[in-house]
């Protein structure tokens, strides 16, 4: 399992009082997966050939579909739920019920498993960003 943060950095709070946010979960907002999907697309579009939220497959509050074409030319339909992201089809806007691939916690992990060109593009973008930070620090 992939972890996006260091668990040692998380606060530990063992005392819950009556004013705690955990006491009143009824008013909590549900994550809108279509908005999450748009954010995912905007985050990694630079490292794939084409990527967009499906307009043909029905999205729900708890599920969205993302179409992606990796740099190698292969197309996928991805499902986004609270469980994560997974491949559900091998062309745009297609859900293959027999396709039960593993869930990935992040889009980075999923694309890393599908596309060596994604890994290279991501690594190059990271290097450019680090060089820019280094140059800013020397100014």
Among 38-42, 98-102, 128-132, 135-139, the minimum mean pLDDT is found in 135-139
Position 130 pLDDT exceeds 60:
yes
Question: Tens digit of pLDDT for each residue in 41-94?
Answer: 999 999 999 999 999 998 889 999 999 999 999 999 999 999 999 999 999 999
pLDDT of residue 11: 43
- Distance of alpha carbon 77 from alpha carbon 137, whole angstroms: 42
φ, ψ dihedrals at 53, nearest 5°: -75, 135
Per-residue pLDDT at 31: 64
The per-residue DSSP string of 16-44 comes to: --TT-GGG--TTPPPP-HHHHHHHHHHHH
Give the tens place of pLDDT for each residue, 19-43. 444 344 444 455 689 999 999 999 9
Output the six-digit token pair for 52: 């967009």
In this structure, how many other beta carbons lie within 10 angstroms of the beta carbon of residue 119? 15
93-113: b or e for each residue (b if 16 or more CB lie within 10 Å)?
A: ebeeeeeebebbebbbbbbee
Q: Is the pLDDT score of 118 beyond 90? A: yes
């Amino acid at each position: 399992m992939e972890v996006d943060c260091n668990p040692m950095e998380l606060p530990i709070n063992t005392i819950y009082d009556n004013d705690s946010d955990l006491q009143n979960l009824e008013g909590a907002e549900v994550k809108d997966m279509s908005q999450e999907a748009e954010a995912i697309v905007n985050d990694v579009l630079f490292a794939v050939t084409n990527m967009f939220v499906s307009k043909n497959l029905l999205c729900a509050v708890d599920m969205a579909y993302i179409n992606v074409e990796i740099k190698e030319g292969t197309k996928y339909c991805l499902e986004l739920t609270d469980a994560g992201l997974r491949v559900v089809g091998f062309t745009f806007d297609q859900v293959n019920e027999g396709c039960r691939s593993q869930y990935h916690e992040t889009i980075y992990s999923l694309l890393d498993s599908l596309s060596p060109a994604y890994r290279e593009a991501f690594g190059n973008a990271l290097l450019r960003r680090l060089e820019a930070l280094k140059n800013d620090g020397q100014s």
